[in-house]
Structure 1
Amino acid sequence: MTSTSSNVVTRFPKEPLGRLPFQGYHYLAFIFTLVQTKLDPIYKPYRGEEELFYFPLAELPTTSKSDNFADRALSIDPWPAYATERTNTDTQILRVGNRLLAQSKEQSKLKPPPKPRFLILLENKIMRDMKKLGISEDTSDPLRLQLYREIFDRFIEECAYYAPVLAKIKDQYEGFIMHLRKKINEMQPIKELLWVASFDADKRVNEFQNRENTEIDFLKSERNRDKFKLDKVQQERVELQVTVSKLMEQLGAREEACSLEADGRKLLVTEVNDINSRLRELEALTRADMGRNTDDPIKLKILVGEYEKALERANTELNRYRSDFEERVPRVKYEEAKKQLEAKTVEVDALNEELESAASRYSLLKDHCETLNTWRDLYNSQILYITRILAAKSDAAQKVEYMNALLFKYRKIVREKTPEQLADFVTHDLAKAEAGGLPSLTRPTVGRNRSKPEGE
C-alpha cells in the first residue's frame, strides 16, 4: 500500500519488527538520519537524499477479518525502505535538445540507493574508535563489547518510536549476561578448588615419585655395594682355598719327608741299641772267661788281643753308623723341620678358622641379599599395582580405598609368612604384576561387626 501527499512517499513495513536481527546494519538503516517533518505527530518521518519516508502507527486498518494480532502486525521492508518498490524499464528514451536518445539496459539501471547519513556516521564512529583504541576483531574483547553497547545506546536514544522495545531487548540481553556472569562467578571457586586439588595431586605424585626414585637409587646402590662386597669375599674365599690347598700339599710332602726321616732314625737307633747290647754281652762273656782263665796269662793275653780287635771293629762300626746317621738326618735340621711343621700346623689352623669365618660371613651376606631381593621385588610389585591404579579412569576415593586394601593385604602377608614362604609369594606376585591386571582384594572389615541401630 502506497500513498503520496505533498511529495511525501509513505512506505508501510512488510515484516514484523520482532523478526529483525540486530547484528546487521542493513536491516535498521531505514530509521537513521532522523529528521522531523510537519506531518501528523503520530508518525516518525525521516528524510533520505532523494525521498522522504516514515514509519506509520503500530496498528493500521486492515482488510483482514481476523482479529489476531499477528494478522494486523506491521511489516518492514529491507533497507532502505523504499528500495524494493523502485521500478524502471529495461530501456529508456531521453530527450536531448531536439533529439531522442535510447539508453541500453545497463545504462537504464538505477543507481544503488545511498545509505542514510546517521548510519554512515555510526559506522565511521565505530571504525574511528576501533582504530583509536586498538580494538581487535576478537569477539571476546571487552572494549569491543563496550563500543557496540555505546553505539546501541545511541541508536536507542535516536529511535524514539522503537526505543522502549529496543531498551527492553537490551535489558533482557544484559540481564541474561549478568545471570551468566553470576553463574560463572559461582563456578569460579569450584574451578579454583579443582585446580588446587589437581595441583596438590600432581605435587603429591611428584613427591611420591621423587621419594620412590630416591629409595630405588639407594637400594640399587646398596645392592651394588653388597654385590661388590660379595664378589670380593668370594674372590678372597677362592684365594684362601687355593692357598690352603697349596699349603696342604706342601704340608703333606713335608710330613711324608719327615716321616721317612723319622723312620730312618728309628732304624738307626735300633741298630745302635743292638750293637750296644751285643757289646755288653761280649764284655760279660769276656769277664766270665777272664774269671775262669786267670791262671793262664797267655790265654788272657790272646783273649785281650781278640777283645781289643772286636772292640775296635765295634767302635769302627759304631762310628760308621754315627757318621751315616749324621749325614742322613742331622739333628739340627730335624728340630728345625719339626718347628716349621708346628708353625705350618698353627698357620693352617688359623687359615681354617679364617676360612670358616669368611664362609659364615658369606652365608650371612647371601641371606641378607636374598632378603633385600625379596623386599625389592615386593616393593616393585606394589609400585606396579599403584601405578596401574593411578592410571585407571575411576573415582579418586575408590583408588584410595583400593590402595589401602592392597597395603593392608601386603602387611598381613609380611606378618604371617616365613622368609622362605614370603620369597616364593613375592616371586609369583611379581610375575603376575608384570603380566598385567590387578589382584583381587578383600576389603578390611573394620566396621562390619558394629552394633546395628535400633529399628533395623
Structure 2
Amino acid sequence: MYYRCSDEFGGRATKPRFLEQLQSYLKSELTALDTLSPKLQERKLQVYQEVFDSLIEEFTTYKPLLSTIKNEYDITLAYLQEQIRELKPLRSQLVLLSEQCDKKVLELRKNERAEIRALKQERQHFQQVIEGMREQQRALETQVYHLQEELAAQYLQYRDECDARKLLIAKISKVQSEDPVTVKLALKVCREDLTRAQVELNRLHAEYGEVVPHRDWENLDHMYKENLLQVSLQKDNLQRELDVFQKASTPRPHWEQCADVLGGRERWSEIFEGQSSKKRLEVLLEELNSMGMEQKDFFPGMGTSSNVPIYLRYEGQLKNLRLNKADVVRIIKDIWREKAFEDEKEFLHQYMQRQYGGQAGEWIYSLMHCINCNLKDDFISLFYDILTDKVGVST
C-alpha cells in the first residue's frame, strides 16, 4: 500500500507541476479554438491527443501499455471515421429516398382520395340505378298482377262462352233432329202463351197499378191515427191555454164590426191591415170625423183668375164626391208614379183632365177637401206641402 507524504503527516496535497502544465495547456488550446468552425470536434480531439501523448512520454513505465491503448483507440476512431465518410453519401441518398417516398405517399393518398371519391359517386349512382330497377320491378310486378287478373277474367269469359256454344250446338243439334212441323207447332203455342201472358200482365197493371199494398196501407193508417191523436191533444192543450189567456187578459175589440161603417170589408182590410189597436182607433176616429165634416153636397168654384191655382180654376157648383182617405192615398200614389213635369200644379191639372175629363173639377175639389181633413197623415201632409210650395221637390 502506498501513502502520500502529505496524507501521512497531515499536510495538504499539492498538484504536480507537470499536471498543472498539462491542464494549463489543455485549457489554453481549447480556449483558442474557433467554436464556429465546422471541424471543431476534430481539433478538440487533436488537442486531447497531444496532451495524452505528453502524458505517455512522461510515464515511461506505463508507456507501452498506454501506447497500445492509444493505438487501438486511434485505429477504432479511424475505422469509425471511414465508416462515417462512407455513410455520408448514403445519408443524402436516404434523405432523398425519404423525400421521394413522402411524395409518393402523398400522391398515393391524393390518388386514393380521388379514387375513393369516384368510388363513392359510382356507389351512389349504382344505388340510384338499383332503386330505379326496384321501382321498375315493382311496376312490372303490379302490371303482371293486373295482367294475370285480366287473363283470369278473359279465361272465365272464354270458358263461359265455350260452354254456351256447346249448349247452343247441342240445342241446335236437338232441334235439327226433331220434326220441323212439331217445332213450328211448339213455336206457335209458345207465341200464343206469350200473347196471353202479355194481355194478362197489362190487365193486372191497369187494374192494380195504383193500388197500395195492404201492408203499406196499414202502416199509413196507423201513422194517420197517431198523428190525429197528437193533433187532437195539441188542439185541446191550445184551447185550454186560450181559455186561460182570455180569462186573464183584457178582451180585444172586434174590429170586423167596423167594416160596414168604413165602406165594406175590402176598404176595412186596406185601412186596418198590419196596424196596431191604437193606430186602428186613430184611423177610425179620423174616418168618422171626415164623415161628419162631409155634409156639403157641393163646393163653390174659386173662379178662373190668375191668382187661383191652375188646378182649382173652376166656376159654379162642383159636386162633393165624398172621397175617403184610401181614395186620396191611391190618387196621390198614382200621381207620383205618372209625374213628368217639374211643376206639380200643372201636372195635377193635366192628370185630372186626363183621368176624369168633364168631372175633373169635382174630383180635384173633393180631393183637396179630403186632403184638408187628413193633414195629420204624414204622406198626405207632405203632398199638400209640396202642392202649396211649402216644401220643394226634385223630379
Normalising by structure 2, we get a TM-score of: 0.27
**Greater gyration radius:** 2
- When you count helix as a share of all residues, which structure comes out higher? 2
Normalising by structure 1, we get a TM-score of: 0.24
